[in-house]
């Protein structure tokens, strides 16, 4: 491959991975065309992409950007899983694919300067909350004290209302029982 072609490929990879912060690295060896197409289709459905790369060119393309340090996962033929998903969604997807196809070799996931290597690293990364899960947890934590305060304020009032309603019902039953049958009820 000429220097000009390598330069073009490096520039293309640099623009492709410019905004990417999370990557999954797999070994594409042993994946035939049909499995490859199915894998890419499932990835695309989740907003992810698969890019087969030449290790030396992707190292140059990444340089000192956000993905600096992920090159520890590049050993032999490499395919990068990247896209809109969080580290947890990529890791969960790769684990699900590993269950479907035992031949799939997952090297690891890279996120925020940290490398999660091998199957244990992938499992650890998959247990992290996704962005949506983290936001839901945060909203729950924020609303928790307000909910408790509202319950504390509402609680005594509702108890008082229940006691008054019980007294009223007892008074009505006493009135109905005190009046003899045939005699008009007191007005």
CATH code of residue 55 = 3.30.70.1730
Same domain, 114 and 142: no
pLDDT exceeds cutoff 70 at 184:
no
Same domain, 105 and 140: no
Same domain, 68 and 151: no
Q: How far from chain centre, in Å, is Cα 37?
A: 25
pLDDT exceeds cutoff 80 at 6:
yes
Same domain, 84 and 164: no
Q: Compute φ and ψ for 48, nearest 5 degrees.
A: -115, 160
Domain tally, the chain = 2
**Interval 63-118: pLDDT, tens:** 777 777 777 888 888 888 888 777 888 888 888 888 887 778 888 888 877 888 88
Q: What is the pTM of this model?
A: 0.65
Same domain, 61 and 120: yes
Same domain, 45 and 24: yes
Query: Domain for residue 139, yes or no?
Result: yes
Supply the range of the domain harboring residue 140.
Answer: 130-173
Query: Domain for residue 180, yes or no?
Result: no
Over range 33-37, report the average pLDDT. Answer: 85
Query: Domain for residue 183, yes or no?
Result: no
């Amino acid at each position: 491959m000429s220097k000009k072609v390598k330069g073009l490929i490096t520039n293309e990879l640099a623009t492709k991975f410019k905004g990417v912060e999370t990557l999954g690295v797999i070994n594409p060896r042993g994946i035939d065309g049909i499995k490859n197409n199915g894998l890419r289709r499932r990835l695309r459905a989740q907003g992810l992409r698969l890019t087969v790369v030449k290790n030396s060119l992707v190292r140059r393309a990444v340089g000192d950007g956000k993905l600096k340090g992920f090159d520890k996962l590049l050993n032999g033929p490499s395919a990068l899983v990247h896209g809109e998903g969080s580290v947890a969604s990529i890791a969960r997807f790769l684990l699900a694919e590993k269950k479907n196809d035992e031949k799939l070799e997952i090297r690891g996931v890279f996120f925020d300067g940290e490398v999660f290597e091998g199957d244990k690293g992938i499992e650890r990364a998959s247990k992290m909350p996704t962005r949506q899960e983290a936001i839901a947890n945060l909203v729950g934590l924020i609303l928790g004290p307000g909910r408790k305060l509202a319950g504390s304020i509402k609680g005594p009032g509702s108890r008082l209302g229940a006691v008054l309603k019980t007294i009223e019902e007892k008074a009505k039953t006493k009135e109905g029982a005190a009046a003899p049958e045939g005699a008009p009820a007191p007005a």
